[in-house]
Amino acid sequence: MSRKRQRRAPDPEESRLEALLFGTGYSSAPAATAPSTEMHNLTDADLFLVNDTQESVGDTSESEATSDDEPVVSLESHRLRKLRDHPDETALTSRQYETRLRRQFERINPQPAWAKARMSEKSADGIDALLSRTTGVLGNRPAKASLTPGELAIERLRDANQAAAASDSGEAKSLAFHPSASVPLLAVGTADRRVRLFNVDGHTSPLLQTLHLPTLPLSQSSLTFHPSGSSLLLAGQRPFYFVYDLQRGEMLHKAGRGLWGSYDSTTAVAAPRKRPRGAHASSDSACAEGLEITSFDTRGEILAVAGKGGNIHLLDWKSGAGQVVDTLKCGASLRSMWWKGGGGNLVALTNDSEVYIWDVGERRCIRRWKDDGGYRGSARCMTGTQNGWLAVGSNTGLVNVYKDALAEGSLYQPKPTKTLGHLSTAVTALKYNHDGQVMAMASKDKKDALRLVHPPSLTAFSNWPTSSTPLGHITAIDFSPGSEYLAIGNTRGRVLLYHMLEYGAIRAIV
């Protein structure tokens, strides 16, 4: 007749798990060995300790569940009864006890979603692997998030550019998310004239590629992804631009390209030269125009480029040659442009606070009106949505929001649906999210000057940002294609990353 063994001193792993479960003290010690039936609970470093010659262990009685050399844990105490799989169990081996404790602990503290899949430690495949994936980094996304006014569910993640935090890159000048929701790619342009591509996952966001453009100073609108997601356009206050092919991982025009053909950026001067008095405009002088403001139509067939004197040059991008096919003329220099609808209408804001709506197919202006309260030089930026919202920010901090002001053929002077006065300094960044339910507006001139607005109700979300949100002086804003992420760049070179919870839960990248 077998005699019940006295319980020996607990092994270190047992003590550690008990400490996690019951909140008791713990001191580290070497881990014990385990039978082969429990190998799934071992770490890689412990595998060589497994003794495959031990007898299998049952769990119906103490005499069958124990061996001469293995300690036994009694389940008769009240606090351990919860570990039983059935009422008849009275004792467990040390390894069984460890397994039950682990299971109980994971029930109480579920494993976080980002830890369910091993993160890749290397980005050797880089952008190629990112573009070849058919699934994004966000799971359980609702088909259509419907936001309510008042409060916004938002949480802070690690900085999107933390992988390059030690590079001392300077101010974050420009931000651009890849247009495909299945490619979590963020382009960040900084004051050191470098563009860095990050794989945004909400956790480590590894750096994939760095592009150095020594002849091209970057601005807020310097980075534009082609709507197909195949390439990245890089432009600025210079008469040339670059195109980076994401699939091939190379610059298509290494010396830069001008509007009227090739351009040697290595000989570019610090700023475009002024035309001498009395000289006539020509293609050569036109080449000196900066290409800071650009916009692709929704199909990616035409690139609109704001030139000097209110000119809007239309480039044929579909053919791949990038040739200027026509030029539209506005009454003053351009501040902002974006395409409405299926790509046929181009909306432009001038320095005179006038809004032009162009039918690009027919090359005619179908509507023109002045921003309410606007005067020369007051308009700073503009943004809009495909469902009729339009917002114009001014140098006074006011933002006029219009609804259905882009209708073709209307002759009346539209009035703002509402004027938002949440900012007290010049509006330098305006951005709607993909479905027009959130609008971000910010000012670089004042610290922490950012507000998120709910356009359907034209009210600001009251719970964020708070007085303790470390935004700094904001230089750039962008939403991810599905609005799961909000990226905010500042003068300190940080790209703050926030997760908008209504638009989907983050899951790990496999």
Write out pLDDT tens, residues 154-183: 999 999 999 998 888 899 999 999 999 999
For the stretch 79-116, pLDDT in tens is 787 788 888 888 888 888 888 888 888 777 666 655 55
* Residue 50 confidence (pLDDT): 44
Share of the chain above pLDDT 90, in %: 52
State the CB neighbour count (10 A cutoff) for residue 174: 22
* Residue 84 confidence (pLDDT): 83
Residue 462 pLDDT exceeds 80: yes
* Residue 61 confidence (pLDDT): 45
Residues 323, 345 contacting (CB under 8 angstroms): no
Strand ranges, E, within 140-238: 154-157, 172-177, 185-190, 194-199, 207-212, 223-225, 231-234
Report which of residues 235 and 272 the model is more confident about: 235
* Residue 376 confidence (pLDDT): 72
| Mean pLDDT of all residues in 463-471 | 94
pTM of the model: 0.70
Q: Is 214 exposed, middle or buried (0-12, 13-18, 19+ CB in 10 A)?
A: exposed
**If pLDDT is split at 50, 70 and 90, which confidence band does 49 have?**
very low
Residue 430 pLDDT exceeds 50: yes
Span of 74-83, 151-160, 494-503 with lowest mean pLDDT: 74-83
For the stretch 208-240, pLDDT in tens is 999 999 999 999 999 999 999 999 999 999 999
**If pLDDT is split at 50, 70 and 90, which confidence band does 273 have?**
very low
Residue 470 pLDDT exceeds 70: yes
Cβ-based neighbours of 246, under 8 Å, separated by 6 or more: 127, 131, 185, 229, 230, 231, 232
| Mean pLDDT of all residues in 441-467 | 96
**If pLDDT is split at 50, 70 and 90, which confidence band does 420 have?**
very high
Domain boundaries, given as residue ranges, for the chain: 12-108
Share of the chain above pLDDT 70, in %: 72
* Residue 265 confidence (pLDDT): 59
* CA 264 vs CA 221, 241, 256, 268: distances in Å: 22, 11, 6, 7
Report which of residues 237 and 341 the model is more confident about: 237
| Mean pLDDT of all residues in 474-501 | 97
Q: Locate tokens 């009864």: which residue?
A: 81
Residue 252 pLDDT exceeds 50: yes
Span of 9-23, 58-72, 188-202, 414-428 with lowest mean pLDDT: 58-72
Report which of residues 449 and 33 the model is more confident about: 449
Q: Smallest Cα–Cα separation from 5: which of 55, 92, 60, 71? A: 71
